[in-house]
Every structure is written in structure tokens, then in C-alpha cells.
Amino acid sequence: MNSLLWEIIEMYPSDDYGLILWSHGTSWLPAGMQLKSFARDGNRQMDISELAEALPLRFGFILFDACLMGAVEVAYELKDKADYIIASSGETIYEGFPYDLIIPELIKQQPDFRKVAESYFTYYNEQENELYRSATISVVNTCELEELAAVTAQAIAGQAFDMTTFDRRSVQRLDVYSEQYTFDFMDFINRAFPETDKTALTEQLNRAVLYKAHTAGFIGMYDIDTFCGLSCYILHPSRDDLNDYYRRLNWSKASGFINLFDDREEEMNVPTPESRADVEPINKIQPRQGNLLENETPKELLPP
């Protein structure tokens, strides 16, 4: 990817570049877990930190036409690689972005990324088929993410959190996996730390998320009652493999999320993906509603 992007940049010099990344996506999840954070190239995989390293410069925007990339962990990992990130926190319908509607805006001298996101939302929200009225979308100003992490760390500092007893299912889900990996960021904070003053956090989140929109639900599999514009991971008590990888992410360290782990790092026995046959693989999704979802790769919805 790095060499290809450099080749394009050298062929087409410009003062500013935008980047559209189209592929399968599974948010921040690590390579080697059958699916990966972003992209598929044969059997090769790329996690989100590798993607950040591969990008050769800071882009004016990165638009992810891929599932689950509108995560606070993803945005923070890429904050030094783009001014703005346009992405869906949930899965995406197989058609992806309506390029005939968004390209005219993206090629303007000063594109309005809110209009780009609004075009995506409107396109799906006005679908005649109720199942296809399924979308989440947001525009993130990456310059505000460092402060968002700092305010988050302040809000949860010293707060008690027990991942073994917290009901993850009580938080707004944003994926179709039965084990669930992505949740609404602010809904998690509100439910996990109900007594914490979140005024500063809410204000900073509104500065970071310039636009957000969601449909009433996603392909009949779950309702979307609240959406702050970013998803996040909630520690899973039986997935030490994912939890151990998660603590290495920049967002985990900067936001204080790393402090939500039990202080027993030396006791952790992190299994390899192959040894976790007892746990549902993250790519195994049973088809719903007449096989609208791909069974092996939850990137897009298949055409009827």
C-alpha cells in the first residue's frame, strides 16, 4: 500500500490529497483473528496500526467504505494521518457509498464532509425496502481526538469497573456479531459510570464529531436507539486474547481505558487464535432475513 500510494502521489502532485479505502473492515480487531481491522489481499492481513504506518502522509480526509471503521480506537490510531475521517460505526450495506452523489462534493476545493456523510445517510434512509434502511455514519475532526482522550481519562479516573459483572448487552450495540465487539462510546460511558460528571466529555465529543446520523435499526437485527458518532470496545471477560491486544492500542493508553483492566497482567495466559476453538470465531455470522448477510465475511449485505 505504501509504495502504491507513493507512486500515485509522484504521478499526480498536489498540495492536498484525500483517500477512499474500500474493503472488508472489523474496526480495531487484530490481524490473525480470521478477519482483520481493514483490508483483504489474498491471505495477507493488516491491522489498524499497520495501516497507519503504511499511509505515507497526512491526508485531507480518509473515507472508509468498509464495515465498523467509525470506532474511536480506529480514529485515534489514524489521527496523525488525516484531518477528517468519514466512516460507519456499524456494518455497511453491500452497495457501499453512493459515489455518484458524493464524488462531486469530494473533488471541490473545499469539500463539505457533512454533505458527503448526509448523502450516504439519506441514500439508505430513503430506501423502500425497510431492511435496507440501515446505516450509521459520522464525520470526525481528528484534531480534537487528543483532547477527547484526555477528557475521557479524567472522567473515568478512579472509577470502579468490573468487566466480569458489567452487562455489555445493556449498551447500544453496533455490530451483528453474537459475541459483540463494538458499542456506542457514549452509551457505554453513561452506563458504566452513571455517577460521573460527563459535561466536559460530552462537549469535547461534540467538537470531535462534526456530523452523525443513524437509521432506526440495522437490517432487522438490532435497533439503534442512541448513537454518539463513535463506537468503542467493551472488555470481554472471556476474551483475554482480544483484551491483551486492545491494551496496546494508542486509544486504550491515552484515554485511560487501559486502567479498566484487572491488575493481573502477569497472570494472563494469552491463547493463540487457533487454540480458541471453544469460542465463537469472529467471522461466523449466521445469515438473517433471507441471507442478507454474508456468512463468512460480514463486510456488506448481499443483493436480494
CB atoms within 10 A of CB 87: 30
Read off the pLDDT of each residue in 210-225 and give the average, rounded to a whole number. 96
- The ranges assigned to domains in the chain are 2-264
* pLDDT at residue 303 tops 80: no
Return the sign of the alpha-carbon dihedral for residues 234, 235, 240, 244. Answer: positive
Band of pLDDT at residue 46, cut at 50, 70 and 90: confident
And the C-alpha cell for 186? 457514549
Mean pLDDT (the chain) is 82
Grade residue 24 by pLDDT with cuts at 50, 70 and 90.
low
Please name the residues in contact with 147: beta carbons below 8 A apart, sequence gap of 6 or more: 204, 207, 208
CB contact set of 42 (below 8 Å; sequence gap of 6+):
none
Cell of residue 140, nine digits: 470526525
Phi, psi of 99, deg, nearest 5: -65, -30
Instruction: Give the residue from 46, 51, 29, 70 showing the smallest Cα distance to 248.
Output: 29
pLDDT for 159: 85
Task: Express as a percent the part of the chain with pLDDT over 90.
Answer: 58
pLDDT of residue 149: 98
Identity (one letter) of the amino acid at 223? D
- Residue 262: pLDDT band by 50, 70, 90 thresholds? low
User: What's the whole-number mean pLDDT along residues 121-135?
Assistant: 95
Phi and psi angles of residue 74, each rounded to the nearest 5 degrees, phi first:
-70, -50
Per the model's pLDDT, the better-predicted residue between 66 and 86 turns out to be 86
What does the alpha-carbon distance between residue 201 and residue 172 come to, in Å, rounded to a whole number?
Answer: 18
Q: Which pLDDT belongs to residue 22?
A: 84
Per-residue model confidence (pLDDT) at position 177: 85
Number of neighbours of residue 172 by Cβ within 10 angstroms: 23
Q: Please state the rounded mean pLDDT for residues 123-149.
A: 96
Burial of 271 (0-12, 13-18, 19+ CB in 10 A): middle
